[in-house]
Structure 1
């Protein structure tokens, strides 16, 4: 495994890991640019805070021109991990988490745009609520709507309906899906305490707690690693949905990415339910 370090390594503060595999160059550039803006705002509030960003290249990173110049311009320590092959989403993040020596660690997707004040709001919330170890933000879509990515514990039927049925058919199960997606409590205003499952596209942890959990379970190659980590996090800390922390998500579901993703989704679902218990209907 090759480690390319761009600036002196972080010893405190905030660390960020982003795992890429044949990344979309435009989306990744937007993510890094928004992260640079958010770190700039954070530095205005906390000029002495050390910030480190680790890009984990699971393959294909050389196919897209990846520039961290905007981040380096904010004094952010930047590094690239490469040469380890496609080890999967969770194991990729674990490579960076193992090196983290920060107070907080952000697991971030390469298809997320951060609001300029998102990191300021997040760290302020953590300081006001020392009982919280994992924070999930208000996640919006490209049309300005709210993505309901907090979850109650799923049944196999919920996953099938949401992931694989056409939208026209899904409307017949609207009430059921609304409950699974916590639409009765997730909104633009209210902090929601202890949602059972939160999305892996943006998971901000206290690093010491994340290390106690040993990061993601490496048995998941892709999908359900965030479900698993969310449920385990509740054993040692509180989890909060904080709508004042705002991001935009460009991601899509497994069924829209082809048969290879459907197979990985099914394999990970089997591991998840085997571990935490099967619920059919």
Structure 2
């Protein structure tokens, strides 16, 4: 029977994490076993106590739950890597990386597992909706459409500018994308299922990124190693969106500016690298404060958490 490790990263958001765990405990599954691995990323509140108290109060049947506690915040990449290392050490067959701000359809994981058994050399993702009321532009939709607005069906990379964007974002789902699926360039780290062998083959998330673009980097490495990226549209989850990442622009200015440079110089064509270099000089001279710091840190090879505190 295949074993699935479900990795959920928590940082100072115990209630969100608990809600996500509750959602996973309702999933229906046959012919595979699951273990939820909560990685606490150096929380400074009472997250661990609350999550442990919640777990101890559960009637969880055949489910197993593990908590890994970091002493410091290792970012999205480093935190999830601890969970992945746990899965590899304990001989799990598949790894599901999941945000702590999602709600899942009870059959979503069974559908993904059925698909990955057909071809294990894949990274799969469900169709991801905005959670009802958390849409970017909720005023443009009818009330009956809320909760059916697409957040992502994979993503595309604009190689000319080195930006990633979610496929079908902000569209109300009427099934119009299901039969004409675009092949994604990347799978969002919001929720992805991969065989454990993937990480043995290409390595883990690159911890230089810390936050933002590490999922795109992983997807590119996987594709280069012969893995298929695929969206399974009848597997569905909902994303609260910005539950984990701080919405303030400073953190995005810093990490996206720095990490775009890191990603571009690793993978982009020469013409794009030259354009990104020119843009970085403009940011250094005229950009917002955290953009300037991001550019500086890239050229000083100051990665990971870098100057962000």
TM (norm. structure 1) is: 0.77
- Residue in 2 that maps onto 1:6: none
- Residue in 2 that maps onto 1:54: 37
Cα deviation, residue 70, structure 1: 7.5
Cα deviation, residue 32, structure 1: 0.6
1:203-249, CA deviations, whole angstroms, 9 ceiling, x for partnerless residues? 10011123212121111110000000011111231111111110001
SS in 1 for 2:26: helix
- Residue in 2 that maps onto 1:95: 82
- Residue in 2 that maps onto 1:116: 106
Alignment of 1:83 with 2:73, yes or no, is no
- Return the alpha-carbon distance in structure 1 between the equivalents of residues 98 and 253 of structure 2: 23
Cα deviation, residue 190, structure 1: 3.1
- Residue in 2 that maps onto 1:208: 197
1:79-106, CA deviations, whole angstroms, 9 ceiling, x for partnerless residues? 1111331111111111111121211110
**Aligned 1:31-180 pairs, distance under 5 A:** 31-38=20-27, 41-42=28-29, 45-46=30-31, 49-60=32-43, 62-64=45-47, 65-66=50-51, 67-69=54-56, 73-100=60-87, 101-127=91-117, 129-130=118-119, 132-141=121-130, 142=132, 143-144=146-147, 145-148=149-152, 150-155=154-159, 159=163
- Residue in 2 that maps onto 1:3: none
Cα deviation, residue 259, structure 1: 1.0
Aligned length: 244
Counterparts in 2 of 1:264 and 1:71: CA distance versus 1, 3 Å: farther
- Return the alpha-carbon distance in structure 2 between the equivalents of residues 221 and 245 of structure 1: 28
Q: Is the 1:107–1:203 Cα contact (8 Å) retained in structure 2?
A: yes
RMSD, matched Cα? 2.9
Q: Which runs of 5+ in 1 are unaligned?
A: 1-10, 163-179
Cα deviation, residue 272, structure 1: 1.0
- Return the alpha-carbon distance in structure 2 between the equivalents of residues 63 and 193 of structure 1: 43
Larger RCO (CA under 8 A, 6+ residues apart) = 1
- Residue in 2 that maps onto 1:266: 257
**Following TM superposition, where does structure 1 have runs of at least 4 consecutive aligned residues deviating by more than 6 angstroms?**
none
Cα deviation, residue 158, structure 1: 7.4
Q: Is the 2:153–2:168 Cα contact (8 Å) retained in structure 1?
A: no
TM (norm. structure 2) is: 0.70
